[in-house]
A and B are shown apart, each in its own frame.
Chain A
C-alpha cells in the first residue's frame, strides 16, 4: 500500500493545488512556432532513424489541410499554434545520464517532491516508473529487471532507436496518422512517452507507470505512448500527470495506442491531475487526448480506467476497437469538475468481431460553475453477431450553478446484439450532508464520503495501491464546493 501512497501522496497536501511549483533549470528549447524545421529539430534531438522523421513530416504535411474540430461542448479561445513551444528539455539531459544516479539533482528533487523517487535505492517496490519531464523521458526504473523476462519498458524515443521493427509495425496502427487534427499534430511533433512490449505468454510482474510533468511555460506537451500485449500476455499500466500553476492555458495533446493480440489483456489506468486553473477559471491545462485500444486478437481485453480531476478542459474518449472475436472492452470513468473546469469525455466501443462485449461505467461529478459532459458511442457493426454492451452513466451535481450532460450515441447494425443504457442524475442532498455531519464528519469529509460512494464502482478498478489515494484525491478536488 505504501507505494501508492508515496506515488500520489502529493495530492493530499491541502486544498490548493499541491504540485503547482516550478523547477528552475536550464532548458533547450526550439524557437516558438510550428514548422518543418521544428519537426526536424525534434527528430534530431531524439536521434531518430530516418523513417521516423519521414513519418513525422508526412503528418506535418497532412496537418496543413486539417481543421481543428469544434463540435465539443466546452469552447476555448483559439489556440495560436505559432505561439507555442514544441520542445523543451532540461539541458542536463543532452547527454543521456548513464544511470539513474546521474540525473540532474533539480529534476530528481522535482520527482521526489511529487512523491516519485527515481534513485536506485529509493525506487518504489513493485512499480516500474517512466518519468517524463516536458518533452523528454528523464528516467525509467526497473528496466533491466523487466528485460530479463523480455518485457520492454522504455521511452518511445528510445524505442524508435532500439526496437524499430515493433514501433514501425504498430505506431499509428490504432490511431491513424491523420485521424483528426490533434492526432495529426501529435504525430508530427510528439516528444516523449512510454513504450511497452509484453512478449507472448508473459504476465508482467509489476505495475508499469508513467509520470508526466509539464514544467516549462508556453509549452505544449505531446505525449505518445504505445503499448503492445502479445499473445496471452497481461499488463497493468498507470499514468499520473501534474503541472505548475500558470496563468496561461497550456496544451497537452497526447496520443495513446494500445494493441492486444490473441488472449492478451491490457489494463490502463489514468489518474489525471493536471493544474485545473484557479478558482476564477484562469489558466490550467487543456487536456485534449486521443486514447484508443485495439483488441486485435480473439479473446483479448482492454480496460480503461480514468480518474480525471485536473485540467481546465478535459476532452478525451478512450476507446476500444473490438476486432477479435470474443474480445472485451471496458471503460470506467470518474470525471470531477469544480470551479470553472469543463469536461467532455466518454468512450467509443466499436464492435466488429463476433460475441464482443463492452461495458461502460461513467460517473460525472460537477461542482461550482463547472460543466461536465459524458459523450459516448456504442457501434455494433453488421458482422458483430452476438455483441453485447452495457452502459451506465451517472451524474452527480454539487450546488446549483453547475451542469451535467449525457450524450450517448448508439449505432446498431446487427439484430442479434444486446445494448443496455442506464443513466441517472442526482444531487448531494442537504439531508445526506446533515446526516453525516450529525455523526461528526465535517462538511468536506461528508462531501468526500458521499462522492466516493458515488464513484465506488470505478475506483475499485484502480490497482489496489492507488485506489486508497485516489479516494483522497476525489475529496480534495471538491474542497470548497459546498457551503
Chain B
C-alpha cells in the first residue's frame, strides 16, 4: 500500500525527519509512538502533502510517487489525515463542507456527485453511528465544537470519504473515556482488508481500543524500534528512555 524510503523533511534548514523507512501493507494497522518533538506530526503532514517542508526520499503509494502529488490530489487518491487540531472555518456549515469534500473526491474518481437529498441520507446515518447530533451538522465547521466533537467530526469525515489510507494524528488527545470509545468504535468499524491505518499517538491507551498489527517507536526523525502491540505496553511501563540515546 505505502512504502516510505529514506524520508527526510526539514523546515527552515532544521531537519525533522532524518531518513525514515516504513512499509505498510493493505489492511494493516500501524501505530507510531514517540516523545514530543520526535517528528510525529511532521510525518503526518508530509504524508498528506502540506506545503512548507523541504522533503526528499521516496513515498510510493499504490505504485504512485506521492511526492509528486499536491494535497488535494493525495486526498482524492484516498489519503486521509485526521487532524490533531481540526481547523475552524467560520460561516461554512459542516454538512455543506462535507458534501463539497465528498463530491470533490467522487468527481476526481469518476463517480457522480451527490445531490443534497442523497447526501443528507448518507450523512445522517453515518452521524448516528458516531453519536453525532444532526444539529452539529448545521453548525459552522468546528467552530465552537468541544474537543470531543471535533475529533468525532474527523472520524465522520473519514467514514464519509472511505479513504484507503488513514493517518490519525493524536486523535486520542483531549478525549475523555466515553469519547475515546466512540472514536475507537468508529475506527474499528472502518477496519477493512483494503484500508490501512497509521495511528500516531503519545499513549498506549488508544491502542487498547484499536489494536495495531505493528508498533513503531519514532525518535529524532527515525524509527528506532518496531514490534507488535506488546511494544506499546512496554513503552507505557518503561517510557521512551530505553530507546533514546
Contacts and interface: CB of A to CB of B under 8 A. Distances in A.
A150 B85 CA distance: 60
Interface stretch (B69-77, B124-132, B192-200): B69-77
Interface string A63-90: 0000000000000000000000000000
A120 B76 CA distance: 47
Contacts of B141: 453
Interface in B97-115: 97, 100-102, 104-105, 108
Interface string A294-320: 000000000000000000000000000
Contacts of A457: 91
Interface string A449-472: 110111111000000000000000
A449 B141 CA distance: 11
A102 B70 CA distance: 55
B50 A434 contact: yes
B108 A452 contact: no
Interface of B: 48-52, 70-72, 74-76, 80-81, 83, 86-87, 89-92, 97, 100-102, 104-105, 108, 140-141, 157, 161
A445 B81 CA distance: 19
Interface centre among A437, A449, A452 (most CB of B within 10 A): A437
B186 to A, nearest CB: 17
Contacts of B101: 436, 439-441
B81 A441 contact: no
Contact of A441 (B80, B87, B100): B100
A454 B90 contact: yes
24 contacts: A434-B51, A434-B71, A435-B83, A435-B87, A436-B97, A436-B101, A437-B49, A437-B75, A438-B48, A438-B71, A438-B72, A438-B81, A439-B75, A439-B101, A439-B104, A439-B105, A439-B157, A440-B72, A440-B75, A440-B102, A440-B105, A441-B101, A442-B72, A445-B100
Given A438-B72, A439-B157, A455-B91, 19 more contacts: A430-B52, A435-B83, A436-B97, A436-B101, A437-B71, A438-B48, A438-B80, A439-B101, A440-B75, A440-B104, A441-B104, A445-B104, A453-B90, A453-B91, A453-B92, A453-B140, A453-B141, A456-B91, A457-B91
Interface SS of chain A: helix, strand, loop or mixed? helix
Nearest to B86: A435
A430 to B, nearest CB: 7
A455 B92 CA distance: 10
A449 B92 CA distance: 7
Contacts of A452: 91-92
Contact of B89 (A442, A445, A450): A450
A432 interface: yes
A431 interface: yes
B104 A442 contact: yes
